[in-house]
Amino acid sequence: MSTNKEPSPGGKVQASFEGEPLTCAPGASVAAALIATGKNAWRETRSGASRGLFCGIGVCFDCLVEIDGESGQRACMIPLADGMDVRRATGPGAGDHSGEASVLSAGEGDEA
């Protein structure tokens, strides 16, 4: 991940998404920065459905992105940092993880 800790001019965090500038207030997540710049979807499922922010708390896998070459990162959980190179999720970590939600919820309602 980015190690540049120097504050950007004007108190804004400056990074990039797919090579385009991505700027936001300090402390904002990657997902918040993407949404603030009009990007509501930044990956596709195996079937081609667009995905972006869904739960916003790191439970689902809809907001996956690649950050500084590391795939499978949850955009809602990672604060945008100066110099970050954010890209659309590709490869094995970018697929449809909808089946995992059913595994997590298996056993719900089994209380006596």
pLDDT given for residue 39 in this prediction: 95
For the chain, list residues with pLDDT below 70.
1-9, 91-112
Distance CA(108)–CA(31), nearest Å, equals 29
pLDDT given for residue 90 in this prediction: 78
pLDDT given for residue 111 in this prediction: 46
Q: What is the pLDDT of residues 29-61, one digit of tens each?
A: 999 999 999 999 999 888 989 999 999 999 998
Distance CA(32)–CA(53), nearest Å, equals 9
pTM tops 0.75: no
pLDDT given for residue 110 in this prediction: 46
Which class would CATH give 9-91?
A: alpha beta
